[in-house]
Amino acid sequence: ASFIMIGTGNPEEGELRPQLLDRFGLYVEINTVADPDLRLQLALNRTAYDLNPEEFYASAREDQEALKEKLLKAKALVKEVQVDRDLRIKISTVCSLLDIDGIRGDMVVVRTAKAFAAFDGRTEVTEDDVGRIIGLCLGHRTRKDPLDPLGGVMKVNAVFKRIFKDGLTYEAVRGMQAKSQPGKGGDDKKKEEGAEEDGKEGRGGLKPGQWRGLK
């Protein structure tokens, strides 16, 4: 694309429809800074800007120019960045386990990982690169379940760990997901088996033909 759109929104005012959220490549949750030192620095920066904007710009110009130069180098390098097929398979596995609709999520993760590696001056994507950015790419694409205690990004990171760090297969994680769902877990299976056993027993809790003892 020849341009980049950055949008902001307040979730308390309502969620966007999934088909619209899917059009956004990256999603970042912004919270109020809690660290006292950072809060103080932000307040001092704002005060300095209000007192003398030009002087404030001048004080930040060197850092901004360095960042600009780094971004330009990354933009030129990103075309040379390679992503191993095994990493691509794992990325698509995570997307599949999260029930991400379409393949846009898969593509965004790969592109963002390549950009992150280029920004770091490298031409090969690593698992750590994927781990750093995958939550930003998929957090808003996960299906919203009001009964699920895990948020989108937390859910993405949990599945990422299972596939990338623990080395589990698609089938293994699917099995774990099935067991964690109500009515499909091992406890429910045991209850069903117990109910069948109870059904085989006669009145008084005895199986058919079992001796009741002397009265």
Dihedral of CA atoms 150, 182, 90, 163 in degrees, nearest 10, equals 80
Distance CA 123, CA 83 (A): 9
Give domain status of residue 164, yes or no: yes
Catalytic residue status for 39: no
Question: Could you tell me what percent of the chain has a pLDDT over 90?
Answer: 55
Q: Domain of 175? A: 82-181
- Window from 8-12, 22-26, 140-144, 200-204 with minimum mean pLDDT: 200-204
pLDDT exceeds cutoff 90 at 72 = yes
> Which whole number is the average pLDDT over 16-20?
81
Closest to 91 measured CA to CA, from 101, 79, 103? 103
Do 57 and 123 reside in the same domain of the chain?
A: no
Distance CA 68, CA 74 (A): 10
Q: What is the pLDDT of residue 196?
A: 52
* Residue 146 pLDDT level (bands cut at 50, 70, 90): low
Q: Number of structural domains, the chain?
A: 2
- Which of 57, 80, 103 delimits the end of a domain? 80
Do 90 and 136 reside in the same domain of the chain?
A: yes
Distance CA 153, CA 172 (A): 21
Give domain status of residue 199, yes or no: no
Please report, for the domain that includes residue 161, its CATH number: 1.10.8.80
Do 92 and 74 reside in the same domain of the chain?
A: no
Q: Which residues of 152-167 are buried (b: 16+ CB within 10 A; e: fewer)?
A: bbebbbebbebbbeee
Determine which one of 23, 85, 104, 141 is catalytic: 104
pLDDT exceeds cutoff 70 at 206 = no
Instruction: Indicate the SS3 state at residue 82.
Output: strand
Count of CB atoms situated within 10 Å of the CB of 18: 13
Instruction: Indicate the SS3 state at residue 124.
Output: strand
Give domain status of residue 110, yes or no: yes
What does pLDDT average to over the chain?
A: 84
Instruction: Indicate the SS3 state at residue 50.
Output: helix
- Window from 28-32, 92-96, 127-131 with minimum mean pLDDT: 28-32
Do 166 and 114 reside in the same domain of the chain?
A: yes
Distance CA 121, CA 141 (A): 29
- Which of 63, 80, 97 delimits the end of a domain? 80
* Residue 49 pLDDT level (bands cut at 50, 70, 90): very high
Do 76 and 88 reside in the same domain of the chain?
A: no
pLDDT exceeds cutoff 60 at 181 = yes
The H or E element that residue 90 is part of is helix 85-97
Distance CA 15, CA 35 (A): 29
pLDDT exceeds cutoff 90 at 36 = yes
Q: What is the pLDDT of residue 23?
A: 86
Do 156 and 118 reside in the same domain of the chain?
A: yes
Do 92 and 150 reside in the same domain of the chain?
A: yes
Helix-helix angle 127-138:152-160, to 10 degrees: 150
> Which whole number is the average pLDDT over 168-184?
80
Do 176 and 125 reside in the same domain of the chain?
A: yes
* Residue 29 pLDDT level (bands cut at 50, 70, 90): confident
Q: What is the pLDDT of residue 176?
A: 86
Do 166 and 139 reside in the same domain of the chain?
A: yes
Give domain status of residue 212, yes or no: no
- Window from 9-13, 28-32, 75-79, 118-122 with minimum mean pLDDT: 9-13
